[in-house]
Chain A
Amino acid sequence: MPLQGEYLGMSVAIPDVDRPNQEFYTHCGQGVLHLQSCVKCTLLRYPTTTACPWCAESEYVWTPVSGKGTLYSYGEVHHAIQPTFQQFTPYLILLVELDEQRDLPNRFDGLRINGNLADASGEMAKPELVATVGIGSRLRVVFKSIGDGMAIPLWTLDTEAKQEAPWRYPDN
């Protein structure tokens, strides 16, 4: 059966033939971020792929990860293109570097996960929260249910972590 849901008014449909994505979002629905781990070289990867980008092996196992990381970079959208997102501007498009597998397999590589900044309940962040986050911010994953047992991963400030002053675009 295809998995079907809805997120922010956008319909979600993941067909049966796309098993990796069905599994990724179903793991999220169960509340733990899992990434594909290669059975041969054991490296984790993101987003879902049909083979290991480092050794081309196609078999994988799903492996839970901490869901904690550091903001590696971001864009701050003031002019939304998709109608759904116009209500959320300014919103952040994040690239979060997970604590796992930093500088592996090569120096400067990392598991960098896309997402938006959200509050602790998975709602898109309000401008006051957006203004506090920058490169270096410690973030943790949160999930927003999208139906059919699936959830979408988003990121929120890790209030339990020690936060250094983040780097932000120099506004005047």
Chain B
Amino acid sequence: MNAEIDATSEKFLRGKYAIVGVGETPYTRGSGTTTRALGTYAVRRAVEDAGLGMDDIDGMLSYSGNDSIPSTAVAGDLGIRLNFYMDVMGGGSSTEALIGIAMGVIEAGMCKTVVIFRSMNGYSQIRIGGTGRGSGASNLSGDGLFGRAYGQSSAAQAFAQTFMRHMYDYGTTPEQIAHVKAIHSEHASNNPKAYYKHRVTVDDVLSSRMIVKPLHLLDCCVETDNATAIVVTRMDRARDCKHMPATILSVVGRCCKPRIDNHYQAGPISTVAGHYAKEILWPNAGVGPDDIDLTGSYDAFTFTTMLQLEDYGFCEKGDGGEYVSSGIMRLGGARPNNTSGGHLCEGYTHGMNMVIENVRQLRGEIDDSCPIDANGKRQHTYDYSNGGCRQVRDPEITANLGWAMPGTGSALVMAKGER
């Protein structure tokens, strides 16, 4: 662990808040329903998972890119009377940022318990690549003159230069990066919820068609319809909830590189926001990368997982390709990553499903295919072969790394139970 990290004194709200409930809809293509109904379903599941009633919830946060419904609709449908709500613009990096906001508003006495949700028909209605927004002959004005005028509109088109430059700067290879998808697909094969459950190989990734070089089709995440939700509350209330709390040690929200939107003007573009975020994340958590048992990373693309793990210090700068292809992040490895299959395989909900996965990992109650005993408790086999277990053995501390774009990131460190 980094000697500069202060683990001896409590910092900020370290250990004082927890995630006590998580819930989601199935990950589908063609939900056949509205984002309002999806959001309501996920929020209800998360509140029930916490062992709380709707009367216990008085705060709500959501995020979207004009592709969802506001908190007021979901709260109204569920009979929740709110003392606080806010609907925030944004996609990736929002989950962790909103967890921090929830802690802040509770600490300020504005409300007691907050549900955060993300609801989207990301396949059947508005797709991230831009389809579904009524495109056609688009008007170029303002920022569009510097992007869409050059056929640069999707995330793959916007991030490709960062990925390519990393290959140039550090010799990162397509084969190394393809391991991210192969490993996440192994994990997804043990996740009954995952949209893509079949295992793919490095060769499958490399032989899939090119989307935006250096990204093959299988370097890109899945688009799905789904909603996800989590419940955040203070530790004194968390103790009374149904499950062991996933205690929040540290959170970073939308930490940015210089120039933010025009981040490619500043510094080497093969360095991403995690380089800055880690200076907040680790000291506030009182732990360092070596203390983390498993990670959840924003895998909109294979490359985003590599860049984040590298810039948060899980390996030396430039060694990300070697790290992700070493086997360390495979189930059974020293520090598994995205045990649900993440955005590449499980489903796409702008970061929240990887937080949900780590909460369940910390509880020791991952929903895999292992047998359930007479007491209703799942008996994990730790056999990670196809269709088997995906529970990590006795995880104590997790890290989630959120990504909006190369210039903006968020992060979260959680621990098992009260500290």
Residues of chain A whose beta carbon lies under 8 Å from any beta carbon of chain B: 7, 9-15, 18, 21, 25, 45-47, 49, 53, 72-85, 88, 90-91, 93, 95, 106, 108-112, 114-116, 135, 152, 167, 169-170
Contacts and interface: CB of A to CB of B under 8 A. Distances in A.
Contacts of A109: 265-267
A82 B141 contact: no
A112 B265 contact: yes
B264 A53 contact: no
Nearest to A45: B265
A115 B150 CA distance: 6
Given A95-B264, A169-B214, A81 B145 contact: no
B212 A76 contact: yes
A85 B135 CA distance: 13
A18 B144 CA distance: 13
Given A10-B137, A72-B165, A169-B164, A77 B266 contact: no
Contacts of A112: 264-265, 269
A93 B174 contact: no
A46 B138 CA distance: 23
Interface in B114-146: 129-131, 135-143, 145-146
B65 to A, nearest CB: 16
Contacts of A47: 143, 146, 262
22 contacts: A7-B140, A12-B145, A15-B141, A21-B142, A45-B265, A46-B262, A75-B159, A75-B160, A75-B164, A75-B214, A79-B211, A81-B153, A81-B154, A82-B135, A84-B137, A93-B160, A95-B161, A95-B264, A114-B146, A116-B151, A169-B167, A170-B174
Contacts, number: 146
B382 interface: no
B369 interface: no
Contacts of B163: 75
Give 7 closest A-B pairs by Cβ, nearest first. Answer: A75-B160, A76-B213, A85-B151, A73-B165, A73-B161, A78-B210, A79-B211
Contact of B150 (A15, A78, A81, A114): A114
B152 A46 contact: no
Nearest to A76: B213
Given A21-B142, A95-B161, A78 B212 contact: yes
A12 B139 CA distance: 6
A63 to B, nearest CB: 16
Given A74-B160, A81-B157, A135-B168, A9 B137 contact: yes
A152 B141 CA distance: 12
Contacts of A79: 209-212
B110 interface: no
Interface string B249-263: 000000000110010
B143 to A, nearest CB: 8
A46 B265 contact: yes
Contact of A10 (B129, B146, B149, B159): B149
B162 interface: yes
